Chain A
Amino acid sequence: MKLKYIKLAVTCTFAGLFTACTLDYDPISTPTELTQGSQTDTTTAVLKDHAAAVSQRTVLYELLKSRQEHWYLDLLLEADAHSDNAYAGTTGAEVLPFENNSVDASSTVLSRDWDRYLDDIAQANVLINGLNPLLSKGLVTQAEYNQWTAEGKIFRAMVMFEMARIWGSFPVITSVAKTITAANIKEVYPTYYPPKSTSKECYTQIITDLTDALSYAPDISSTDKTLLSKTVAQSMLAKVYAEKTVQDYSKVIEYAEKVRATPGLQLESDYSNLFGYDATAKDCKKRNTTESILEIQYTTGNANWATWMFGRQLDNYDYYFTWAKWITPSRDLIKAFDQAGDTLRKNQSIVYYKCTWSNYYPADAYPFMYKLRSGLNSIIKLRLADIILLEAEAYVYQGQLSQAASLVNQIRERAKLPDLASDVASSKSSMVDAVLNERRLELAFEGQRWFDLCRNGKVESVMNAVYSKDSGRLTQKKTFDTNSYLMPIPQTALDENSNLQQNPGY
Chain B
Amino acid sequence: MLSLFALMVSSTVFAQKGTVTGEVFDSSNQPVIGASVYEKGTTNGTATDLDGKFMLNVKQSATLRISFVGYQSKDVVVDGSHLRIVLSDNSELLDEVLVIGYGSVKRKDVTTAVSSVSTKDLAQRPIVSAAQGIEGKAAGISVMQANGQPGSAPTIRVRGTTSMNGSNDPLYVVDGVPMTDIGYLSADDIDNMQILKDASSAAIYGSRAANGIIMITTKQGAKGVSKISFNAHYAFNNVRDNIKPLNTAQYKDLQSEIGLVVLPDTLTDRTNWRDQTFRTGYVQNYQVAITNGNDKYNYYISGGYTGEDGVIKESSYKRYNFRMSVENQIRSWLNMNGSVSYSDYTNLGSIISGTGANRGGLLLSVINTPTYAPVWDPNNPGQYNNNFYGVNITSPAENIARTKDNKTSNNRLIATGKATITFFPGLKFSSSLTLDRTYSNTFNFLDPTATQNGRDNKGTGYDSRSIGSVLVFDNILNYTKSFGKHSIDAMAGSSWTNSKWSQSYINGSNYANGDIKTLNAANKISWTDTGTTASEWSISSYFARLAYNFNDKYMLTANMRADGSSKLAPGHRWGYFPSFSGAWRISSENFMKPFTWINDLKLRGGWGQTGNQSGLGDYGYLASYNINRIQWFGTGYDSNAIPTVSQSTLSNPELTWETTSQTDIGLDFTILNNRLTFYADYYYKKTTDMLMTATLPSGSAAASTLTYNGGDMVNKGWEFTVSSKNLVGAFNWNTDFNISFNRNKLTKLSLTQVYYNAKTTDNVNDYVVRNTPGRPLGSFFGYIADGVNSETGELNYRDVSKDGTISASDRTYIGNPNPDFTYGMTNTFSYKGVNLSILLQGSYGNDVYNVSRMETEGMYDGKNQSTRVLNRWKIPGQITNVPKARFDMKNSSYFVENGSYLRVKDISLSYNVTNQMLKKLGITRLQPYLSCSNLLTFTKYKGMDPEVNQYGNDGSVQGIDYGTYPLCKSFVFGVNVEF
Is B452's CB under 8 angstroms from A23's CB?
A: no
Chain B residues positioned under 8 Å from A179 (CB to CB): 623, 650-653
Q: Is the CB of B537 within 8 A of A25?
A: yes
- Nearest chain A CB to B616 CB, angstrom units: 13
B390, A93: Cβ atoms under 8 Å?
no
User: Judging by beta carbons under 8 Å apart, are A177 and B808 in contact?
Assistant: no
- Judged by a CB distance under 8 angstroms, whether B914 is at the interface is no
* Docked CA distance A191–B703 (Å): 14
A176 at interface by CB-CB < 8 Å: yes
The reply to whether A318 and B808 form a contact with Cβ atoms under 8 Å apart is: no
A233: min CB distance to chain B, Å:
22
* Contact among A22, A52, A62, A319 with B630 in the assembled complex (CB-CB below 8 Å): A62
Known contacts being A21-B498, A108-B759, A506-B807, is A9 close to B429, with CB within 8 Å? yes
Contact between A28 and B565, CB atoms less than 8 A apart = no
Q: Does A142 contact B (CB under 8 A)?
A: no
How far, in whole Å, are A79 and B934 apart by their CA atoms in the complex?
54
Least CB separation from A191: chain B residue: B700
> Is the beta-carbon distance between A498 and B534 smaller than 8 angstroms?
no
Assembly CA distance A266 to B960 (angstroms): 58
Contact A32–B625 (Cβ < 8 Å):
yes
Over the window 53-85 of chain A, the binary record of Cβ atoms lying under 8 Å from chain B Cβ atoms (1 yes, 0 no) is 001101100100000000000000000000000
Chain B neighbourhood of A279, CB < 8 A: none
* Chain B 365-391 residues near chain A, CB threshold 8 A: 386-391
| Assembly CA distance A19 to B811 (angstroms) | 56
User: Which residue of the partner chain A has the closest CB to B492?
Assistant: A13
Bound CA–CA A180/B646 (angstroms): 19
**Which residue of chain A lies nearest to B501 when distances are taken between CB atoms in the complex?**
A28
Stretch at the interface among A112-120, A383-391, A393-401, A410-418: A112-120
Instruction: Tell me if A353 is interfacial: C-beta within 8 Å of chain B.
Output: no
**Chain B CB within 10 Å — which of A1, A9, A363 has the most?**
A9
Judge if B261 is at the interface, Cβ distance under 8 Å.
Answer: yes
Q: B436-473 interface mask toward A, CB cutoff 8 Å, 1 = contact, 0 = none?
A: 00000000000000001001100000000000000001
| Interface check B876, CB cutoff 8 A | no
Partner among A17, A28, A55, A104 whose Cβ is within 8 Å of the Cβ of B808: A104
The reply to whether B701 and A192 contact each other, CB–CB distance below 8 Å, is yes
Any A CB within 8 A of the CB of B93: no
A20 at the interface (CB under 8 A from B): yes
When distances are taken between beta carbons in the complex, the residues of chain B under 8 Å from A358 are: 260-262, 389-390
In the complex the two chains form, is A106's CB within 8 Å of B811's CB? Answer: yes
Tell me the complex Cα distance, A58–B631, Å.
Answer: 11
Interface pair B756/A23, CB less than 8 Å apart? no
Most chain B CB inside 10 Å of its own CB: which residue of A23, A181, A297: A23
Separation in Å of the B966 CB from the closest CB of chain A? 26
CB-contacts of A1-59 with B (<8 A): 1-2, 5-6, 8-9, 12-13, 15-17, 19-25, 27-34, 36, 38-39, 45, 52, 55-56, 58-59
Encode B542-566 as 1/0 by CB contact (under 8 A) with A.
Answer: 1000000000000000000000111
B644 touches A59 (CB 8 A): yes
A323 and B772 CA atoms in complex are apart in Å by 38
B645 in contact (CB, < 8 A): yes
A406 CB within 8 Å of chain B: no
Interface segment among B304-312, B679-687, B747-755, B919-927: the answer is B747-755
A322 touches B565 (CB 8 A): no
Q: Most A CB atoms within 10 A — which of B421, B429, B618?
A: B429
Q: B387, A356: Cβ atoms under 8 Å?
A: yes
A12-B421, A108-B766 are known contacts. Are A496 and B262 too (CB-CB below 8 A)? no
CB pair B808–A31 under 8 Å, yes or no, is: no
Q: A141 contacts the other chain (Cβ, under 8 Å)?
A: no
- Evaluate contact between A94 and B765: CB separation under 8 angstroms: yes
Contact at A105–B809, with CB atoms within 8 Å?
A: yes
- Whether A495 contacts B699 by the Cβ 8 Å rule is no
Q: Is B672 located at the chain interface by the 8 A CB criterion?
A: no
Q: Is A359 an interface residue (CB 8 A)?
A: yes
Q: How many A-B residue pairs have CB under 8 A?
A: 262
Interface residue? A357 (CB, 8 A): yes
Q: Tell me whether A322 and B536 are in contact in the complex, defined as CB-CB below 8 angstroms, given that A118-B698, A122-B698, A357-B390 are known contacts.
A: no
Determine whether the beta carbon of B754 is less than 8 Å from that of A16.
Answer: no
Number of B positions contacting A (CB below 8 A): 102
- Complex interface bits, A349-374 against B, C-beta within 8 A gives 1, otherwise 0: 00000011111001100000000000
Task: Decide if B615 is an interface residue (CB 8 Å cutoff).
Answer: no
Residue B743 lies at the interface, judged by CB distance under 8 Å to chain A = no
The complex places the Cα of A168 from the Cα of B215 at a distance, in Å, of 59
Quick check: B651 and A38 within 8 Å, CB to CB?
yes
Residues in A with CB closer than 8 Å to B634 are 299-302
Question: Could you say which of B386, B535, B647 contacts A29, with CB atoms under 8 Å apart?
Answer: B535
**Complex-state Cα separation, A28 to B535, whole angstroms:** 6
B808 touches A20 (CB 8 A): no
Q: Which of A405-448 contact B (CB under 8 A)?
A: none
A31, A104, A119, A173: the one contacting B627 at CB < 8 Å is A31
Any chain B CB within 8 A of the CB of A143?
no
Are the C-beta atoms of B645 and A55 separated by less than 8 Å? yes
Choose among B628, B699, B807 the residue with the greatest number of A CB atoms under 10 Å from its CB. Answer: B699
Q: Is B827 an interface residue (CB 8 A)?
A: no
In chain B, positions 724-766 with a C-beta closer than 8 Å to chain A are: 751-754, 756, 759, 762-766
Q: Judging by beta carbons under 8 Å apart, are A12 and B429 in contact? A: yes
Tell me if A198 counts as interface (CB < 8 A to partner B): no
Structural contact, A27 and B701, CB atoms closer than 8 A: no
Taken together as a complex, chains A and B put the C-alpha atoms of A413 and B427 apart, in Å, by 101
Contact between B646 and A59, CB atoms less than 8 A apart: yes
- Contact A62 B644, CB 8 Å, known A21-B538, A322-B392: yes
Question: Is A281 close to B, CB under 8 A?
Answer: no
Q: What residues of A have a CB within 8 angstroms of the CB of B534 in the complex? A: 28-29
Find chain A residues with CB under 8 A from B696 CB. Answer: 192-193, 496
Which residues does chain B contribute within 8 Å of A22, judged by CB atoms? 538
With contacts A58-B630, A92-B763 known, is A119 near B644, CB below 8 A?
no
Measured in the bound complex, the distance between the Cα atoms of B765 and A91 in whole Å is: 11
On whether the beta carbons of B699 and A119 are closer than 8 Å, the reply is yes
Bound: A31/B533 CA distance, A: 12
In the complex, the answer to whether A301 meets B527 with C-beta atoms within 8 Å is yes
Q: Which residues of B contact A176 (CB under 8 A)?
A: 700-702
A408 → B minimal CB distance (Å): 35
Mark interface residues in A462-506 (1 if CB within 8 Å of B CB, else 0): 000000000000000010000000001001110111100000001
Partner of A91, one of B652, B701, B861: B861
Q: Which residues of A lie under 8 Å from residue B591 when comparing CB positions?
A: none
CA distance A288 to B304 in the complex (A): 67
- Asked whether, in the complex, the Cβ of B494 is within 8 Å of the Cβ of A38, the reply is no
Q: How far is the CA of A225 from the CA of B743 in the complex (A)?
A: 61
Task: Mark contacts of B234-264 with chain A using CB atoms, 8 A cut-off: 1 yes-contact digit, 0 otherwise.
Answer: 0000000000000000000000000011100
A32 touches B624 (CB 8 A): yes
Q: Which residue of A lies closest to B772 (CB)?
A: A495
Interface flag for A305 (CB, 8 Å): no
- Is A493 a contact of B860 with CB atoms below 8 Å? no
CB <8 Å contact, B496 and A28: no
Q: In the bound complex, how far is the Cα of B862 from the Cα of A344, in angstroms?
A: 36
Q: Do the beta carbons of A21 and B496 come within 8 Å of each other? A: yes
Seen from chain A, the residues whose Cβ lies within 8 Å of a Cβ on chain B are: 1-2, 5-6, 8-9, 12-13, 15-17, 19-25, 27-34, 36, 38-39, 45, 52, 55-56, 58-59, 62, 91-94, 104-106, 108, 114-116, 118-119, 121-123, 125-126, 171, 173, 176-177, 179-182, 191-194, 224, 297, 299-302, 318-320, 322-324, 355-359, 362-363, 478, 488, 491-493, 495-498, 506
Closest 4 pairs (CB-CB, A-B) = A357-B390, A16-B475, A118-B699, A323-B392
- A to B CB contacts below 8 Å, 23 in the list: A2-B424, A16-B431, A16-B477, A16-B493, A20-B496, A20-B540, A21-B538, A27-B624, A39-B623, A56-B646, A62-B644, A92-B764, A115-B698, A122-B699, A179-B650, A192-B701, A301-B527, A318-B456, A358-B262, A359-B260, A363-B390, A493-B697, A495-B772
List 11 other contacts, CB 8 Å, given A126-B647, A301-B527, A356-B390.
A1-B1, A15-B475, A20-B542, A23-B540, A24-B570, A25-B537, A29-B534, A33-B651, A93-B766, A181-B653, A192-B751
